[in-house]
Amino acid sequence: MATNIAFVIFVGVSVLWLIARALQDHRNALAMRRGLLDDLAGLFGDAKISLAPDSFPILRAHLPDGRGVKIELIADTLVFRRLPQLWLQVTIAETAARQRPSIGVLARPMGAEFYSTVHDLPEWIEPPQIGAPLLMRGDGRASASQLDRVSALFRSLFSDPTVKEATITPRGVRLIRQAAQGDRGSHLILRQTRFPFAPISRELVQKAISEAEALRQALSDEQPVQEATQLRVSVSRPWSGKSRGPERLGHPVRI
């Protein structure tokens, strides 16, 4: 009898210890997650860091010419047969809208890219050939010469397999590239999402900003307009996915 009671007590204490350990690990992970962008503040003179609902940080700042920069981290865990991905999203907003079309490319589309804005552009465009699946869409306002220019840039940009999406609109440009990949063992055995919580490097962010600037320069001859040009969603062909691009950016879709 006493042995059974002792065994029950041992099991109860062990369960409580495991729960306490799991809660502490979760708190530690959240604390490390919140600091992933701290090292980047020195790149800008007015950087401000806030937290998204998932506790990943968001950095907002300005470039020397006054354009706004927004740096975000997006945890992508929706694709079953692929390791979870942590995406770095860099958005550079113009100080005034430009008279240029909206064009974007998404690499290796799976239909589960809730963060994508390309899915919400209304017109399909023949993408450049790079040996990997690309989805290229626009708002139907691009001229042949504009498409030639951006297609050449997209071909070079997406030769890097860590680039996921690139979009240019009248209001700005956005680039998404891989920041980290989930731990294989935790994902395959326990179906858990665990990212290595190393701070995002300045070099990675500077590279993403340079790539976004190159995307902007592809249509740099376009003149600013007095009022912001906005892209209203009117998808010409049915889309079965559940992209939340408009939800993340606000209706109508814009950067």
Distance CA 245, CA 255 (A): 10
Nearest to 204 by CA among 180, 222, 227: 180
What is the rounded average pLDDT of the residues 28-50? 81
How confident is the model at residue 74, as a pLDDT? Answer: 93
pLDDT at 99 over 60: yes
Cβ atoms of 233 and 120 closer than 8 Å: yes
Kindly provide the b/e burial profile for residues 148-159, where b requires at least 16 CB atoms within 10 angstroms of the residue's own CB.
ebbbebbeebbe
Q: pLDDT class for 54, splitting at 50, 70, 90?
A: confident
Distance CA 128, CA 218 (A): 15
How confident is the model at residue 197, as a pLDDT? Answer: 72
DSSP character string of 106-151: EES--S--TT-SGGG-SEEEPPPPSSS-EEEEE-S---HHHHHHHH
pLDDT at 255 over 80: no
How do residues 114-133 score in pLDDT, each as one tens digit?
999 999 999 999 999 999 99
Helix H segments across the chain? 2-34, 144-157, 184-190, 202-217, 245-249
Distance CA 212, CA 236 (A): 27
**CA angle 81–87–93, rounded 5-degree value:** 145
How confident is the model at residue 221, as a pLDDT? Answer: 61
How confident is the model at residue 27, as a pLDDT? Answer: 47
How confident is the model at residue 59, as a pLDDT? Answer: 97
pLDDT at 24 over 90: no
Residue 239: both structure tokens together:
């889309």
Cβ atoms of 39 and 199 closer than 8 Å: yes
